[in-house]
Amino acid sequence: MKNPLSELSHHFQQGLVTVPMLRNSPSARADFLRLVRERTDGPRVLPDDPVPRRPVFAIHPKRGTAPTSDTLFAVSRATPAHTVRTLEQRGIQDQPAA
């Protein structure tokens, strides 16, 4: 059975690419805004040109798969820290999720 947490590093890598793209590309922000409006049926309210200031990396694991150093593959443990450090070097602060 595949561990859902094995894909965690992939999601952080997506954030590493997506955050700068959304900050620097008006067309990427327009596409993002269109997708949010299409898929949420209105409950999300975003400004007309949303420029992210801080990414929020939130993990909602299924029951029994809590992310700990024992349940994550080595690359999945290293990738979140690397992603946050890289974004901070670019002047982007991570927003810890509660």
Residue 96 lies in a domain: no
Residue 43 lies in a domain: yes
Inform me whether the pLDDT recorded for 97 exceeds 90.
no
Residue 97 lies in a domain: no
Secondary structure (DSSP) of 22-40: HHH-HHHHHHHHHHHHHHH
Residue 64 lies in a domain: yes
Residue 78 lies in a domain: yes
Higher pLDDT, 1 or 54: 54
Residue 38 lies in a domain: yes
Averaged confidence pLDDT in the chain: 76
Domain count, the chain: 1
Instruction: Give the pLDDT confidence score for residue 96 in this predicted structure.
Output: 54
Q: Judge whether 65 and 4 are in contact, CB under 8 Å.
A: yes
pLDDT band at 31 (very low <50, low <70, confident <90, very high): very high
CA–CA gap between residue 50 and residue 70 (Å, rounded) = 37
pTM score, whole prediction: 0.62
Residue 95 lies in a domain: no
User: Domain range for residue 28?
Assistant: 4-89
Instruction: Give the pLDDT confidence score for residue 2 in this predicted structure.
Output: 56
Q: Compute the average pLDDT of residues 38-64.
A: 75
